[in-house]
């Protein structure tokens, strides 16, 4: 009898310990700019009441950064805690048919108008990397991925990176066909009787079912939205709603994009409502952020989708508009409700932070390029993040583009090194004091040569530590084919795709 009682007490203790594990919901928007959400106070046109609701439950960060100004690199950094410079995934090419697993030097030569050539980058995230999902699964969590992946199809899908389920199991860079059904997913159709169902509504319903199924065990939900990435379409009623409130003098004035943001926010609300209904909110850590800045180069019915004002640039640029992103962390009892933080954090930091916060174990020999920012989450005013780096050895022809470059943030300073584009093939630099010049209007490199040298030494150490494969000089370069004044001028005609009528 005594043995039975002891065993019963041990079983009860084990059950309580399991129940005390904190759940994790990681919500990642796609191409959502820092100025696209109402909690940040830079928009009156877009409506995000559920993000406001989440911000009231937790901490709003003003200096959260993506690891890259493009999606796949940032996604890889969240899952691995590693810089794209180390994994080599620095471009969103993980949907391409060819399988490339290692980053290599660029080809021998290129077009004469290019002074530098980017490396050839991986098209798949190798499954040998320890992942956040694997760590949580090892700790007894149910793991579910919902939405966009863009890190490789089978055998490099979420199912091979530690997730129990993957819905809709789609490797593409955006939704299959459109947001409003009918879609073109292989095995993911709208609900019966809803021929024009919105994709985020359908995704959220699947996520709710999964939460209901796993409510009695610790869980990790990776809800990576398709919104608000192209193609640009939305519910007809919402487009018409925002058409009535457009202010042509406002840089944010695209009704379709505003409608897309509302559907995105509705999905966040559905998840929060479900956590409340299932009495899970008090024991669930919720993170909301974006994979890069807002899209400033496409057009929707003659309008640029959004503006990242007061930030310069947008998606696919190293300026603040390309890498500074919205971020809210809500964790009752740990993160102070309705609080704000100016602490800097970057997407490589989530994995090491969660290792500490949730009591997880690192894999043998695992390393991180990010650091734990748990003190910042807990409101420690003395927390100072070490320098953060953004490696982007590409030059897509979008507004505010620059040749292949790398940037460092250190305190209030930001230095951008532009590879080989100075005199005699030396590097060229842009230096900004973000505290005084958040819009990056005044390059202080000439006046602050000592600071440039100091920060550039940190860049060099970072590139060496991560074994980054660097761009190289193009042997076919013809100086007469290149005009530095064309930097920052869009080289590709913007898409003028019109929204679908629904």
CATH number at residue 87: 3.40.720.10
Same domain, 330 and 420: no
Same domain, 460 and 342: no
Average pLDDT for the chain:
93
Same domain, 58 and 142: yes
CATH at residue 460: 3.30.1120.10
Q: Helix %, strand %, coil % for the chain, to 5?
A: 30, 15, 55
| pLDDT, position 126 | 98
Same domain, 478 and 333: no
Same domain, 125 and 152: yes
pLDDT digits (tens, 9 = 90+) for 263-299: 999 999 999 999 999 999 999 999 999 999 999 999 9
- Residue 19 CA to residue 12 CA, distance in Å, equals 10
CA proximity to 42, closest of 341, 436, 326:
326
User: No. of H helices and E strands in the chain?
Assistant: 12, 15
Structure tokens at 413: 């300073």
Three-point CA angle 319, 320, 325, nearest 5°: 135
Structure tokens at 389: 């780096």
- Residue 348 CA to residue 224 CA, distance in Å, equals 16
| pLDDT, position 492 | 52
Considering the domain boundaries, does residue 499 fall inside one? no
Q: How many domains does the chain have?
A: 2
Phi–psi pair at 383, nearest 5 degrees:
-65, 130
Q: Which domain holds residue 105?
A: 20-384
Same domain, 300 and 160: yes
Phi–psi pair at 346, nearest 5 degrees:
-135, 160
Structure tokens at 356: 């500490």
Does the pTM exceed 0.85? yes
pLDDT along the chain (502 residues), means of 10: 46 47 98 95 92 98 98 98 98 96 91 93 98 97 98 98 97 94 92 93 97 97 97 95 93 95 98 98 98 94 92 96 98 97 98 97 94 98 96 94 96 97 94 98 97 98 98 92 83 47 40
How far from chain centre, in Å, is Cα 255? 24
Considering the domain boundaries, does residue 476 fall inside one? yes
């Amino acid at each position: 009898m005594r043995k039975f009682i002891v065993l019963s007490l041990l079983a009860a203790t084990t059950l309580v310990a399991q129940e005390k594990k904190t759940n994790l919901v990681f919500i990642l928007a796609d191409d959502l700019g820092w100025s696209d959400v109402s909690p940040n106070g830079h928009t009156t046109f877009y409506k995000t009441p559920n993000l406001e609701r989440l911000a009231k439950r937790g901490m709003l960060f003003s200096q959260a950064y993506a690891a890259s100004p493009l999606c796949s690199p940032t996604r890889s950094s969240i899952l691995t805690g590693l810089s794209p410079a180390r994994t080599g995934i620095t471009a969103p090419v993980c949907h391409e048919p060819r399988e490339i697993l290692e980053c290599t030097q660029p080809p021998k030569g290129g077009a004469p108008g290019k002074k530098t050539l980017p490396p050839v980058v991986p098209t798949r995230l190798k499954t040998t990397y320890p992942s956040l999902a694997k760590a949580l699964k090892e700790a007894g969590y149910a793991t579910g991925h919902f939405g966009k992946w863009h890190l490789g199809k089978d055998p490099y899908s979420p199912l091979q990176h530690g997730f129990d389920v993957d819905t809709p199991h789609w490797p593409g860079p955006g939704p299959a066909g459109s947001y409003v059904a009918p879609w073109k997913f292989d095995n993911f159709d709208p609900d019966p009787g809803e021929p024009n169902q919105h994709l985020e509504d359908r995704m959220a319903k699947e996520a709710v079912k999964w939460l209901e199924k796993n409510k009695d065990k610790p869980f990790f939900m990776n809800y990576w939205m398709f919104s608000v990435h192209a193609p640009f379409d939305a519910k007809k009623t919402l487009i018409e709603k925002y058409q009535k409130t457009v202010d042509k003098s406002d840089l944010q004035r695209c009704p379709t994009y505003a409608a897309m943001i509302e559907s995105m926010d509705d999905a966040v609300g559905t998840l929060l409502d479900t956590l409340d209904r299932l009495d899970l909110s008090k024991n669930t850590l919720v993170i909301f952020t974006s994979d890069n800045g807002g899209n400033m180069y496409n057009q929707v019915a003659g309008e640029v989708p959004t503006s990242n004002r007061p930030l310069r640039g947008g998606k696919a640029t190293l300026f603040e508009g390309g890498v500074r992103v919205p971020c809210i962390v809500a964790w009752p009892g740990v993160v102070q409700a309705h609080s704000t933080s100016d602490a800097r954090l970057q997407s490589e930091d989530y994995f090491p932070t969660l290792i500490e916060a949730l009591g997880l174990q690192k894999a043998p020999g695992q390393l991180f390029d990010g650091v734990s920012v748990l003190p910042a989450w807990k409101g420690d005013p003395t927390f100072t993040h070490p320098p953060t780096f953004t490696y982007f050895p590409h030059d897509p022809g979008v507004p505010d583009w620059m040749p292949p470059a790398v940037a460092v943030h250190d305190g209030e300073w930001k230095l951008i090194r532009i590879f080989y584009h100075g005199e005699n093939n030396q590097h060229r630099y842009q230096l900004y004091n973000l505290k005084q010049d958040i819009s990056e209007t005044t390059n202080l490199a000439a006046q602050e040569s000592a600071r440039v040298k100091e920060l550039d030494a940190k860049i060099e150490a970072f590139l060496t530590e991560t074994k980054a494969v660097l761009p190289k000089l193009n042997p076919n370069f013809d100086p007469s084919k290149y005009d530095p004044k064309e930097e920052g001028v869009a080289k590709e005609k913007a898409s003028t795709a019109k929204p679908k009528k629904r």
